């Protein structure tokens, strides 16, 4: 019974997201672009609560019935046998790194299933735009996934085996210091991560939008290094963001579609919003 509850907690929230995605697909090709965007937006907001509900269910089930479960014990036994075999071929620190990476890959692959209904909805919505838009979206999705997983791969695959010794010795302060330093480096280099995930070009310093951004920053008492354009092409996304902890590496990004279609007043309001993030020290 406990194993059945565990299986249900793993499957039912994901199944609910899949079924909702199928519901939103009905008549999607004939819907207006605004309605298509609204459905994708609603589905994206369902995914996070579903994952949180699942996490709560799994925690409660394992906490209350974990000792009665046969499946986790069997899985751990298989993992231990594999780890022992691997340790005979390579060193134990390397074995820990390999197992950490494999564990992360399994978790990422599982939770990526939650995004599949949204990606399917997005693909159907872009069908009317032709193959070019779909191919561009696919490339951007792959680039974004790789850029997003890099810090996780670095932490779990390289740093975790190193810091596990601090946890084993009860040196919590040292572990916290390493974790803080890692997060500081990741956030400091976040502009480079964004540029790895998306094709970008710098906006010339004399461009009106770049001058406007610097004027707003000066008024707010903050600094930026560049304003860059996210080249998203046929996907026609209107968005902006800011990244970077330090003024010499902090950048404001604005999509090409927004730059081409929004009025000067609208772009100024959006830039002011991004400068507000800097002024209030939002990560």
pLDDT in tens, 193-215: 999 988 999 999 899 999 999 99
Does the structure show a pLDDT above 80 at 11? yes
15-19, 26-30, 77-81, 106-110: which is most confident: 15-19
**91 three-state secondary structure:** coil
**107 three-state secondary structure:** helix
Give the CATH H-level superfamily of domain 200-279: Metalloproteases ("zincins"), catalytic domain (3.30.2010.10)
Q: Which two tokens stand for residue 17?
A: 């997201």
Q: Average of pLDDT values for 138-150?
A: 77
Q: Which residue has the higher pLDDT, 9 or 146?
A: 9
> Domains of the chain: which residue ranges?
1-98+111-124, 200-279
Q: Would you say 248 and 225 are in contact if contact means Cβ atoms under 8 Å apart? A: yes
Phi, psi of 248 (to 5 degrees): -75, -10
Q: For the chain, report the end-to-end CA distance as a whole number of angstroms.
A: 44
């Amino acid at each position: 019974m406990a194993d059945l509850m565990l299986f249900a907690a793993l499957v039912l929230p994901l199944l609910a997201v899949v079924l909702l995605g199928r519901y939103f697909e009905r008549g999607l090709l004939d819907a207006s672009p605004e309605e298509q965007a609204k459905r994708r937006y609603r589905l994206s907001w369902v995914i996070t609560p579903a994952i949180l509900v699942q996490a709560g269910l799994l925690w409660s089930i394992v906490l209350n019935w974990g000792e009665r479960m046969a499946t986790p014990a069997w899985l751990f036994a298989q993992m231990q046998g594999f780890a022992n075999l691997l340790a005979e071929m390579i060193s134990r620190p390397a074995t820990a790194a390999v197992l950490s990476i494999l564990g992360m890959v399994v978790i990422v692959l599982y939770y990526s299933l939650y995004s599949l209904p949204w990606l399917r909805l997005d693909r159907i919505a872009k069908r009317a735009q032709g193959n070019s838009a779909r191919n561009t979206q696919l490339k951007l999705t792959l680039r974004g996934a790789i850029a997003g997983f890099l810090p996780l791969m670095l932490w779990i695959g390289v740093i975790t085996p190193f810091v596990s010794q601090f946890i084993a010795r009860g040196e919590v302060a040292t572990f916290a210091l390493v974790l803080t330093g890692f997060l500081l480096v990741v956030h400091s280099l976040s502009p480079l991560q964004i540029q790895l995930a998306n094709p970008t070009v710098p906006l010339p310093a004399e461009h009106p939008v770049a001058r406007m951004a610097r004027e707003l920053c000066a008024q707010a008492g903050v600094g930026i290094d560049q304003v860059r354009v996210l080249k998203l092409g046929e996907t026609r996304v209107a968005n902006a963001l800011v990244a970077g902890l330090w003024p010499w590496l902090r950048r404001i990004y604005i999509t090409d579609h927004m730059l081409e279609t929004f009025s000067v007043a609208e772009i100024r309001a959006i830039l002011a919003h991004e400068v507000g993030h800097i002024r209030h020290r939002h990560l």
